[in-house]
Amino acid sequence: MKYLYFIFKNLTRKKVRTSLTILSIMVAFLLFGLLRSLSAAFDGGAEIAGEDRLVTIHKVSIIQPLPQSYLAKVQALPGVEKATMANWFGGYYQEQKNQFAQFPVLADDYFDIYKDLIKLPPAQLENWKKNRVGAVIGRALVDKYHWKIGDRIPLIGMFPQKNGSTTWEFVIEGVFDAKTEGADTSGMLFHYDYFDKSRQFGEGTVGWLIIKVKDPKQSAQVAAVVDALFENSFAETKTNSEKDFAKSFAKQFGDIGLITTLILGAVFFTMLLVAGNTMAQSFRERIPEFAILKTLGFSDITVMLMVLCESIVVCVFGGVLGLLLAKIIITGAAVDFAATLPGLGMSWKIMTSGLLLVILLGLITGAAPAIQGLRLNIIGALRRN
């Protein structure tokens, strides 16, 4: 502790250089925080996806519908505890920028299948079941649009109604909340029956089936049985675990994880060169001073640790600033992107990995000058003075 003052004073020796180094490290860790949070948001669905749920889609693509009749056949299969279905609606509220997820579902089953992730008060569920145009919304939507139970919400959907209108009206009958951290509450659920009977085309079809298996260990076998059941039919299926489904859905936007890793890899490689060179230069300029410290009785190890500490302090200062700034930005953005990118947030896991990376960067960039400090020969160094 008693050396900290000296270490701090050494860092203020060339204020501009130290500030620029801290700034560059700060930018690197700002990027780290932003990109990792973004990547985590894309992968978020997969993270919390249930091990005991399967998703069945059309073998060609998720945008190809499946016959609604498949549901009953799947429900009858051994190993299936329960099955339900959902469809994409793709509507927006008032303006196109106000997009969020809406799914026509079966009210009787949906909350039962997802009871580990979301919860709806039983009274609200009952009210919803009674109202054909009723809908339930997630807490994030309440926060964003300040809707409340009883509100009549018009949405403009991509499915035209039989009367030609693309405006669909819903009455909010309930608000569901997350039961697990990261569970998505930015969507709206409404009755499949209302949707199916009102739409102009595609009646009797569904987007995907959701299957809850009796034994998660049998998931792969159940998936194979489902796909075998519809093999050689006009709508062959592809059944995956919900986790794989979420992953492949996220990959529609590209492999965000790989992209962010590549960008961050390039950033940190550059940062290693920049910060490492700065630390080495800073050490070279002070070789006679380190020799004096050793002359006064500072041990080789003490000198080495002092050099290493300088490097770590610079990296920690810049890194923590960058991570905090990223946290502020992400927290702000999470509100705006609650509907389009639910789960956006900078988790403690990202923060902790960032802090570990900061220390690692400090250790690596300070390693070479610290070893030079350890090996510094007093007489040779004093001669350079």
First to last CA, the chain: 29
In the complex, what is the shortest distance from the CB of residue 311 to other proteins, in angstroms, rounded to a whole number?
A: 17
Dist CA 108 CA 329 (whole Å): 40
Question: Are the beta carbons of 326 and 85 closer than 8 angstroms?
Answer: no
Binding residues (CB under 8 A) for other proteins: these are: 2-3, 5-6, 9-10, 12-13, 288-289, 292-300, 378-379, 382, 385
**Which residue's CB is nearer to other proteins, number 364 or number 378?**
378
Q: Interior CA angle at 237 toward 82 and 226, to 5°? A: 40
**Which residue's CB is nearer to other proteins, number 292 or number 320?**
292
Dist CA 54 CA 220 (whole Å): 9
Task: Give Dmax (Cα) for the chain.
Answer: 95
**Which residue's CB is nearer to other proteins, number 217 or number 375?**
375
Indicate the helix (H) or strand (E) that contains 295.
Answer: helix 287-296
**Which residue's CB is nearer to other proteins, number 325 or number 378?**
378
In the complex, what is the shortest distance from the CB of residue 379 to other proteins, in angstroms, rounded to a whole number?
A: 6
In the complex, what is the shortest distance from the CB of residue 15 to other proteins, in angstroms, rounded to a whole number?
A: 11
In the complex, what is the shortest distance from the CB of residue 5 to other proteins, in angstroms, rounded to a whole number?
A: 7
Question: Are the beta carbons of 208 and 122 closer than 8 angstroms?
Answer: no
**Which residue's CB is nearer to other proteins, number 243 or number 286?**
286
**Which residue's CB is nearer to other proteins, number 338 or number 370?**
370
Q: What is the DSSP string of 170-233?
A: EEEEEEEEESSTT---S-EEEEHHHHHHHBSS-TTEESEEEEEES-GGGHHHHHHHHHHHTTTS
